[in-house]
């Protein structure tokens, strides 16, 4: 199973649409917040495509702040991260994922991409498609899961236009 993970698109529909077109073979999109308007537009453009959205600190809709996705025998904890203090470290994120029996924790908010394993939990921040920090290119994540226990997480960069 191939999952696209994005965050912090901040009204940049064109970037989000480019990711969708580039990854037409994916099975799901997870958006980690701060992009409710373009997410709604993407949902309408790809109605058959499974999608999940969690609310971010710049969103004004009534979105869940966390969501647990079941995929290919795994549980993925999804959040924007602002309510879990991700700027100060990942301990609360990881402990919350573990309390929910999730092997994978996904977050955004910092606009800095990151993949690592923390205390047995696979952690990913896909960065930002619209406004990356530290002079990085816009980025998004791809997670590939299989039923044999393999978890592959990758960060991919997009060219600025």
The pLDDT tens digits for 4-39 are: 999 999 999 999 999 999 999 999 999 999 999 999
Backbone angles phi, psi at 142, to 5 degrees: -125, 130
> CB–CB of 17/39 below 8 Å?
no
In the three-class reduction of DSSP (H, G, I as helix; E, B as strand; rest coil), residue 74 is classed as: strand
The pLDDT tens digits for 90-148 are: 999 999 999 999 999 999 999 999 999 999 999 999 999 999 998 889 999 999 998 78
> In this model, does residue 161 exceed pLDDT 70?
no
> CB–CB of 14/39 below 8 Å?
no
Residue 93, CA distances (Å) to 7, 41, 60 in order: 16, 29, 23
76: region left, alpha or beta (phi > 0 left; psi from -120 to 50 alpha) = beta
> CB–CB of 3/31 below 8 Å?
no
Please name each of the domains of the chain with its CATH number: 2-157 (3.60.21.10)
**pLDDT value for 159:** 79
Place of tokens 């044999």: 148
pTM (2 d.p.): 0.96
């Amino acid at each position: 199973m191939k999952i696209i993970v994005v965050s912090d698109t901040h009204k940049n529909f064109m970037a989000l649409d480019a990711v969708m077109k580039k990854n037409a073979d994916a099975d799901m999109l997870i958006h980690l917040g701060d992009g409710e308007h373009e997410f709604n537009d993407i949902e309408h453009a790809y109605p058959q495509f499974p999608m999940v959205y969690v609310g971010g600190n710049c969103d004004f809709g009534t979105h869940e702040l966390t969501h647990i996705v079941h995929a290919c025998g795994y549980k993925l904890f999804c959040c924007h991260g602002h309510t879990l203090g991700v700027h100060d470290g990942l301990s609360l994120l990881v402990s919350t994922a573990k309390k929910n029996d999730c092997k994978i924790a996904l977050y955004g908010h910092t606009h800095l991409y990151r993949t690592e394993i923390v205390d047995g939990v696979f952690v990913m921040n896909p960065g930002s498609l619209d406004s990356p920090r530290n002079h990085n290119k816009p980025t998004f994540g791809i997670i590939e899961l299989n039923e044999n226990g393999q978890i592959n997480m990758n960060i991919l960069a997009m060219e600025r236009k």
